[in-house]
Structure 1
Amino acid sequence: MKKLSFKKPDWYLTSILLLAAFLYGWGIWDAGSANSYYTAAITSMTQSWHNFWYGAFDPAGFITVDKPPIALWFMAISAKIFGIQGWSIVLPSVLAGIGSVYLLYRLIKPRFGLWAGRTAALVMTITPTVVANSRTNNMDAILVFFLLLAVFTLTRAVKKRSLWLVFLAFATIGIAFNIKMLQAFMVLPAMLFYYWIASRKTFKKKTVGLLTAIVSLTLFTVAYPVAVDSVSSNNRPYIGSSQSNSLLELAFGYNGTERLLGQTSGTGGTFGGMGKNNQKTKQNQAPTGGQPGNQSKNATKQVTTNNQNTTNNNGAPTPKTKNSTKQSSGNGAQTPPSGSGKNNQTPPSGSKNGQPTPPSGSGKKKSMKQPGGRGKNGPTGGGNSAFAIGSAGPFRLFQSDLGSQIGWFLPFAFLGMGTGLWAFRKKGNKWYQLSEKQKDVILWSGWFVPVYGFFSVASFFHPYYTIMLAPAIAALTAISVAATAKVVKEGSDKEKIVAKVLLALTIIGTGALQAYYAWSTTPVVAILVLVLSIVSALLFFLKISFGKQAAIMTTVTSLAILSGFWALTPTLSHNSAAIPAASPSLLSQKGSSDMGGQVDSALLSYTKKNQGSAKYLFATTDSNSASGYIIKSKKAVMAIGGYNGTDPTMTLSQFKKLVKSGQLRYFVVGNTKSSTGNVAKILSWVQENGTKVSYSTKNNTSTNSKQQGPEFGGQSGNQTLYDLSSLAN
């Protein structure tokens, strides 16, 4: 009888996966609402199949979120099973992050060796933006998992010569498109080119394979958007953040070309200065230096004293309060870390995915350090603002704003592209005759270069989007190690010297870059890392028995200290942010950094008590102002202008009919600065014809007590409730 044999586990990989599970999952029980915009949608999606299918933001299915719902489907299923809790809505992202680490290992190990696979997995695990993204209910961690799954399937298709797997690989990209739209297509050129050069088939069969890939991609990309757009607008929600109620328009407009050229719709205006050398800033632009949601001791406070009337931004008085309350200024934009003292500004109103909308007016300019700049003690730390993307150009990703999130191993990625093609060539082959390993180098370079190029020139994105680069950087870092080791072992004396020199320069350059990122927060450690990187580089040239081992250990230690520490900060602070980022500034807080989602408990209590037979609890201008109330009450709150109050969801006459029919009784007017078009007309009509309501604010406290940081787009403390029931039949 034949004995069963079990494959010996890779304990290094097991340890890395456990590390990933800890970094991504520890403390998610304090996630709160995470990104309340999506949590409100998840709350609504668990209430009906109709809401689940469309990704409806509100329980009534009035409007959707600004993305297709596939990623939210996973979160809604988790919430349905475990209940709507912070950890349950974040859990799919945690699992996706761990899965991405494993897939990357499986992609690198077969071609470049065991230690290369482990290296790629480790680098991916401790990349700060990967940790931050994997702890939120944003879509990016799930998107990256599906992209890696597509590449993994394609490599299996090439190896097995399977047309079916080719179909499946590009179908997966189509599914990824319906997670975050055109962002998924960034890896398409690499996949198509790789299939052509790596497939061991005749020209005719390769052509059939490419046609199969295109058909599969097209089918799975457009099937859902076409299905949604083909339904009458009367029978489905309005497509949030679109201007024509079309999911295809959302994909190729707002979530497509406008990301590259600058946002011009759905947000109340273009994001001026983004992607440019914006060393000057308008009043109200969020400062860098603090994690989204952080509150500074020096932050501006809004104070409502006992029995004192305040006015909202429309001049309407707010209800009297008996208890003195303080509210951090702004609606969730970042404030400098505690103790910074200066440069505290009122942040913009409204946000997208939790990010602030740019100011509508210029105002006076205040001096403050900008993304990519340096403070008195070094670089500003970067990655701490929704708009901290540095200055556009080929070195943008090396700047502190983005680099502190993704750039820790960038020099090794460049080394991997060059040495990989050089070291893995077959002697005697012509330059165009590629080895199997060279083809894989081209695959990862093809992922890296277009994405790097996009982030170098794009006008509108957020620092956490750079997770798109993490798999390619980790893979190319591992390839650089494998390629250098091969040359040192098998190359000529001249080649060995060149390889060692390139490796030494890369180690020192990486150490210097990491020291630059950390200088303003941990200068002593930064100096230590730089010194260790120099020492480890020199050890590679020493001809002593323990020189190689010492060099490897010193290199790994020196280059993992700071990246690992940065990656650990969201975990230690139990942070799950709407704008995910890793930064030592997180260590001064604990829990979710939600921007939006705050609830005025008195308003909620009053409207619930007096809602009567109305379909909606109340209407308001934007999704951020509504999200917290949806999460808390599980009732329908109409965000009439979509995310920022700019979506043309209905005309004034349609709104009047809604009120007249008794479906809507209350309207909450809060921040109206970004409202335009039909929404502005509706607001004017409400203020002219509605009846202001005074409701009790006794013992009024935020219901999101676990969440840290100022409100973002919420209305607590700066709102007016209007009763429209007298206008109904």
Structure 2
Amino acid sequence: MSRRETAWFSILLLVAAALYVWNLPLNGWGNGYYAAAAQAGASNWTAFFFGSSDGGNGITVDKLPGSIWVASLSVRLFGLSSWSLLVPQALMGVGTVALTYLIVRRHFKASTALLSGVVLLLTPAAAIMFRYNNPDALLTFLLTLAVYLVLRATEDGRWRWILLAAVAVGAGFLTKSAQALLILPALGLVYLYAGTGRLSKRSLQLAGALTVVLVVAGSWVTAAETTRAADRPYAGGSFGNSFVEVLLRQNGLGRLLGAEAGGTAGQELLKPGTLRLMVYPSFGSQGSWLMPIAITAMLCSLLIVRRTVRSDPRRGLILLAGGWFLTYAVTFSFMNGVIHPYYLVTIAPPVAILVATGWQLVWPARKWLPFRIAMTLSVLATAVIAFGYLNNAGGIGPALGILALVICLIACELLVLCSRKRAVSRFTAIAVATACLIGPSAFTVSAVNSQHSGVLPSAAVPGSPRVLDSPDPSRWPEASSQELRGSALGHAAEPAVVAELKLHASRSRWAAAAPGALNAANYQLAAELPVLPVGGFNGGTPFPTLEQFQEYISSGQLRYFISRRDGADISAEAGFAGEVTAWVREHFNAQRFGDTDLFDLSRPLAIS
């Protein structure tokens, strides 16, 4: 790199670091479900290895523990705080931006690489996830790393690149299961087609890489599955205490077909279909803004490089980014299981790559009428989508939507005219960029300056009253129910209850139990004592059974039970958690603290 390029690259990374670290404690624990698991893993190596959601090693989270390992090590080193939980995610974000830049820069201009980094920075889902402790941040970083390594392998055919890429994908599997494996077809096919050397060697290398993926991905699963059930926590999200079931049902085929056990009560149901990622404003506003341009850029770019040699690295990059984007976009569009808007962070890097590389390849060719028409239509479609998202967002959104449309009309007219004057060409480029980026920029800036918590983090525009992840109930949509609020955030720990736990239950295996993992997590984080989540994430997991729960009480392992009195625990107290809750209410007296009931399990009701 030249000094000038190094300076711009450094500025890009500094801006990324500032964006992802700025006012980070505003998000508190972030997702309390994963924060409590990190807290447990930091204090207990068994909890660390299995990804237990509680310090008593009762039950694991319903994901594989890859992201929990990173957070637990940070908490072990630096203590429990917002910084120790969330800074690792911010560093993953900076790393993803850097890798995206380096991927593009290897065979495109520095300005093109810089544009890819800027587009990624201004993606709302990225701004949310790289400031939050969901597994998606680590998954996105590992996928981007795998793409970088495979592209290096296509250039020189060395074994080390393809094997390291396999390690990255395997680590991604340990982070978010099957979602990481979706990229394998794109990686393998592009390497077979665009790699250097003999086809037989490339095939052998891919066979070796697949073996490495299986070893890395399967090592933990094998170790966990072969450990006696009595010597490990229950597999969260399963009905048969099986981690294989978690992979296949909860995070695999069940997620695709709609048969998984997890999910958030009351979540918005997005009908599967071709345009699913774009037609729902609450979903598309997190990362679908530039998809029309990305698709157009990909197709036009492939036309431009169609006559180059097979191993042309530019075509390899476009094919790989396009395969990555299309595989995940199609999967997210048609899957019948639980899906959240922040999933779009995993396709933010390929969209940024396609937009930037398309800009360099297609912009100079806009004098050809078909390209000019395609560019104009894609920019217009992007502005119309932006208007829809912004108009739906409330706050300053409608005004920004109108502004984006006006600038877009000017940009489209200039594109059609295609002036050869340099000044007009530059103004056209600025108008196009402004029209396309004004919407995601507003969402991204607001995401950084707003508080987010719970399991449904999302970005909105400044002044928007309709947010699902604010701990302030006044900012929730009016139609949202107590059930949805409790399911998405859990219920805030009652200070008086926390004081009771610290005073009387510090020596028990579990200081308390609570229905649902989010409720338990909030008390565990506040009291810094293990709290057992009855029924797992949403009360539907058969752990502990009523007999097991009674055994924990009789053996002195469990002291208190915490429950709400206002009906807000309806989702957590259904199913298996409901059976335990009903039994506790029948056999123990409650101390009332506001809307919270605290049951002392060492003092059952007298039998008359």
Does residue 1:479 correspond to 2:360, yes or no?
no
1:89 deviation in Å? Answer: 0.5
Cα distance between partner residues in 2 of 1:577 and 1:456? 24
1:389 deviation in Å? Answer: 5.7
Q: 1:662 aligns with which of 523, 546, 556?
A: 556
Residue 482 (structure 2) aligns with: none
CA contact (8 A) 2:251 2:260 kept: no
Does residue 1:599 correspond to 2:475, yes or no?
no
TM-score by length of 2: 0.89
Cα distance between partner residues in 2 of 1:256 and 1:213? 22
1:7 deviation in Å? Answer: 5.0
Sort the Cα spacing of 1:16 and 1:612 in 2 relative to 1 into closer, same or farther, 3 A. Answer: closer
Q: Summarize deviations over 1:147-197 as a string: whole Å, max 9, x none.
A: 101111111122221112211111210110111111111211100111111
Cα distance between partner residues in 2 of 1:563 and 1:645? 36
CA contact (8 A) 1:686 1:722 kept: no
CA contact (8 A) 1:444 1:476 kept: yes
One-letter amino acid of the structure 2 residue matched with residue 513 of structure 1: I
CA contact (8 A) 1:619 1:664 kept: yes
Q: 2:529 aligns with which of 616, 635, 648?
A: 635
Cα distance between partner residues in 2 of 1:672 and 1:402? 26
Cα distance between partner residues in 2 of 1:660 and 1:56? 23
Residue 222 (structure 1) aligns with: 218
Identity of aligned residues (%): 27
Q: After superposition, where does 1:21-170 map in structure 2 within 5 Å?
A: 21-170=17-166
Residue 477 (structure 2) aligns with: none
CA contact (8 A) 2:26 2:451 kept: yes
Does residue 1:499 correspond to 2:393, yes or no?
no
Q: 2:251 aligns with which of 211, 233, 255?
A: 255
CA contact (8 A) 2:292 2:382 kept: yes
DSSP 3-state at the match of 1:719 = strand
Sort the Cα spacing of 1:693 and 1:389 in 2 relative to 1 into closer, same or farther, 3 A. Answer: closer
Sort the Cα spacing of 1:476 and 1:676 in 2 relative to 1 into closer, same or farther, 3 A. Answer: same
Higher RCO (CA-CA < 8 Å; seq separation 6+): 1
Does residue 1:20 correspond to 2:16, yes or no?
yes
DSSP 3-state at the match of 1:408 = coil
Q: 2:275 aligns with which of 386, 389, 395?
A: 395
Residue 687 (structure 1) aligns with: 585
Cα distance between partner residues in 2 of 1:554 and 1:653? 67
One-letter amino acid of the structure 2 residue matched with residue 618 of structure 1: A
Aligned residues: 578
Sort the Cα spacing of 1:581 and 1:613 in 2 relative to 1 into closer, same or farther, 3 A. Answer: closer
1:641 deviation in Å? Answer: 1.4
Q: Summarize deviations over 1:631-658 as a string: whole Å, max 9, x none.
A: 1222121113111122122433333322
One-letter amino acid of the structure 2 residue matched with residue 655 of structure 1: F
Does residue 1:423 correspond to 2:304, yes or no?
yes
TM-score by length of 1: 0.75
DSSP 3-state at the match of 2:599 = strand
Cα distance between partner residues in 2 of 1:148 and 1:502? 28
User: Stretches of 4+ moved more than 6 A in 1?
Assistant: 586-594
Q: 1:583 aligns with which of 438, 455, 460?
A: 460
DSSP 3-state at the match of 1:618 = strand
Sort the Cα spacing of 1:48 and 1:586 in 2 relative to 1 into closer, same or farther, 3 A. Answer: farther
Q: 2:408 aligns with which of 533, 540, 545?
A: 533
One-letter amino acid of the structure 1 residue matched with residue 297 of structure 2: G
Residue 467 (structure 1) aligns with: 345
Cα distance between partner residues in 1 of 2:149 and 2:208? 15
Cα distance between partner residues in 1 of 2:3 and 2:445? 32
CA contact (8 A) 1:93 1:142 kept: yes
CA contact (8 A) 2:139 2:180 kept: yes
Q: Summarize deviations over 1:65-87 as a string: whole Å, max 9, x none.
A: 11122212221222223321112
Q: After superposition, where does 1:162-241 map in structure 2 within 5 Å?
A: 162-241=158-237
Q: Summarize deviations over 1:380-406 as a string: whole Å, max 9, x none.
A: xxxxxxx34643211112212222111
Sort the Cα spacing of 1:501 and 1:237 in 2 relative to 1 into closer, same or farther, 3 A. Answer: same
Residue 329 (structure 2) aligns with: 452
Residue 380 (structure 1) aligns with: none
Residue 709 (structure 1) aligns with: none
Sort the Cα spacing of 1:675 and 1:525 in 2 relative to 1 into closer, same or farther, 3 A. Answer: closer
CA contact (8 A) 1:514 1:526 kept: yes
Deviates further, 438-447 or 718-727: 718-727
CA contact (8 A) 1:129 1:582 kept: yes
Does residue 1:647 correspond to 2:541, yes or no?
yes
Does residue 1:407 correspond to 2:322, yes or no?
no
DSSP 3-state at the match of 2:238 = coil
1:723 deviation in Å? Answer: 2.8
Cα distance between partner residues in 2 of 1:597 and 1:624? 7
CA contact (8 A) 1:572 1:587 kept: no
Deviates further, 660-669 or 53-62: 660-669
Residue 481 (structure 2) aligns with: none
- The answer for unaligned runs of 5 or more in structure 2 is 473-487
Cα distance between partner residues in 2 of 1:147 and 1:87? 25
More helix by share: 2
Residue 513 (structure 2) aligns with: 619
1:256 deviation in Å? Answer: 1.1
Residue 523 (structure 1) aligns with: 398
One-letter amino acid of the structure 1 residue matched with residue 500 of structure 2: Y
Sort the Cα spacing of 1:206 and 1:264 in 2 relative to 1 into closer, same or farther, 3 A. Answer: closer
CA contact (8 A) 2:221 2:244 kept: yes
Q: 1:513 aligns with which of 365, 378, 385?
A: 385
Q: 1:570 aligns with which of 447, 451, 456?
A: 447
DSSP 3-state at the match of 1:546 = helix
Q: Which has the larger radius of gyration?
A: 1
CA contact (8 A) 2:515 2:572 kept: no
Superposed CA RMSD in Å reads: 2.5
Does residue 1:719 correspond to 2:597, yes or no?
yes
1:676 deviation in Å? Answer: 5.6
CA contact (8 A) 2:512 2:531 kept: yes
Sort the Cα spacing of 1:101 and 1:586 in 2 relative to 1 into closer, same or farther, 3 A. Answer: farther
Deviates further, 435-444 or 178-187: 435-444
CA contact (8 A) 1:75 1:91 kept: no
Cα distance between partner residues in 2 of 1:578 and 1:264? 17
Sort the Cα spacing of 1:8 and 1:544 in 2 relative to 1 into closer, same or farther, 3 A. Answer: closer
